[in-house]
Copies of this chain bind each other. A is one copy, B any other.
Amino acid sequence: MKKLKFKISLIIIILLFNSGLIFAQYDSTDPLPSWNDGKTKSAIIDFVISVTDQSGPLYVKPADRIATFDNDGTLWCEQPTIQLVYTFMRVKEMYPSHPEWKNEKIFTAIMDDDKAYIEEDYASGGKGLMQVLEATNTGMTVEAFQQEVLNFFKTAEHPKYKVPFTKVYYVPMLELINYLKANEFEVFICSGGGLDFMRAVSDEIYGIPTQNVIGSFGKAEYKIADGSSEIIKLPELILINDKTGKPVGIDYFIGRKPIFSVGNERTGGDIAMSTYCQSNKLPSIQLMVNHDDAVREYEYSEKDNASLNAAAKNGWNVVSMKNDWKKIFEFE
């Protein structure tokens, strides 16, 4: 009889476990194993516990648990900017069939790897680079573009790490995404990068479906021809989803303020998103990644230090890659 009782108890425990009725909230395993213990990790976990505690004063219902993550330099390595590597590769592939590019300094600079000229163009507003992006990233169907992007990800390698670019995502951030999802957050990428570019790989790398990606996007038109029914990317920008464009992108694609935002310092691109998130009437948290690990990744900062100054002033959590992350890449 005792043995039978034990069996019943065991069956019940197994079933409860399978049904997710126990252990869901009280899992004792570390949800963020690649994060070092410390104030950043504690701030994250304390926030998630407090907004998911139904009986607590900071409870936020699941429908309002919106999280937005920048991509370049926040979810994956931005040295070099991956979409620019792709774009320059495409310029080199397409150059022979575009004799008119010979008369455009930005195209010849790319062909000659004239980094100084490209950097100068970028620093002065990126007019030339915009022209290059239009020439290589538009004028085709979204599907054809994404096929090119997938081909690139299959073959290209990161210059420092010698791995495909799909492998230069940050492990601690993937853990954070999964931790938030497990706590009924809806997680969005909100990046200055191209919408269609990121969508080609967002599910494969981060498990984030296309509809949860927000990025820079341009005009498009619907075309029906030869029985196919496609969207053509046109060379006219609608939104640069960077800096003050990010809250606009969030409003277009989500329609509500996030309660959890994650960005990084480099260009001040995530200050407006963090401010917008913090203005949420619901409890919120902001993270700002600091690239301070010259050994395992890269060390760089903004010339005016605006992102970290804003973080200090507004109480955003600075994530030190050097100190907060036990591990940065899966391939380490």
- Chain A residues in the interface with B (C-beta under 8 A): 4, 8, 11-12, 15-16, 18-21, 63, 66, 142, 186, 188, 195-196, 199, 203, 209-211, 213, 217, 220-222, 224, 227-231, 238, 244-248, 251-256, 272, 275-276, 278-279
Contacts and interface: CB of A to CB of B under 8 A. Distances in A.
A211 B188 CA distance: 10
B251 A209 contact: no
Contact of A211 (B217, B244, B255): B255
Contacts of A256: 210-211
B253 A253 contact: yes
Contacts of A222: 244-248, 272, 276
B251 A220 contact: yes
Given A63-B209, A211-B254, A253-B253, A229 B276 contact: yes
A278 B276 CA distance: 39
Copies of this chain, count: 2
Contact of A15 (B15, B209, B220, B251): B15
A217 B252 contact: yes
Contact of A195 (B4, B18, B255): B255
A253 B213 CA distance: 9
B229 A248 contact: no
Nearest to A196: B255
Contacts of A255: 142, 195-196, 199, 210-211, 213
Contacts of A244: 221-222
A195 B252 CA distance: 8
Contacts of A231: 247-248, 251
A192 to B, nearest CB: 14
Contacts of A275: 224, 229
Contacts of A272: 222, 224
Contacts of A213: 255
Nearest to A220: B248
A272 B231 CA distance: 12
Given A211-B255, A222-B276, 15 more contacts: A15-B19, A195-B252, A195-B255, A210-B254, A210-B256, A211-B254, A211-B256, A220-B252, A221-B248, A222-B246, A227-B279, A229-B278, A230-B279, A231-B251, A238-B238
A229 B231 CA distance: 34
Nearest to A228: B279
B203 A63 contact: yes
Given A63-B203, A221-B248, A211 B253 contact: yes
Contacts of A188: 211
A246 B196 CA distance: 17
23 contacts: A8-B8, A8-B11, A15-B15, A15-B16, A15-B19, A18-B21, A19-B19, A19-B21, A188-B211, A210-B254, A210-B255, A210-B256, A213-B255, A220-B252, A222-B247, A222-B272, A224-B272, A229-B276, A229-B278, A229-B279, A231-B248, A231-B251, A253-B253
Nearest to A63: B209
By Cβ-Cβ distance, the 3 closest A-B pairs, closest first, are A19-B19, A210-B255, A229-B279
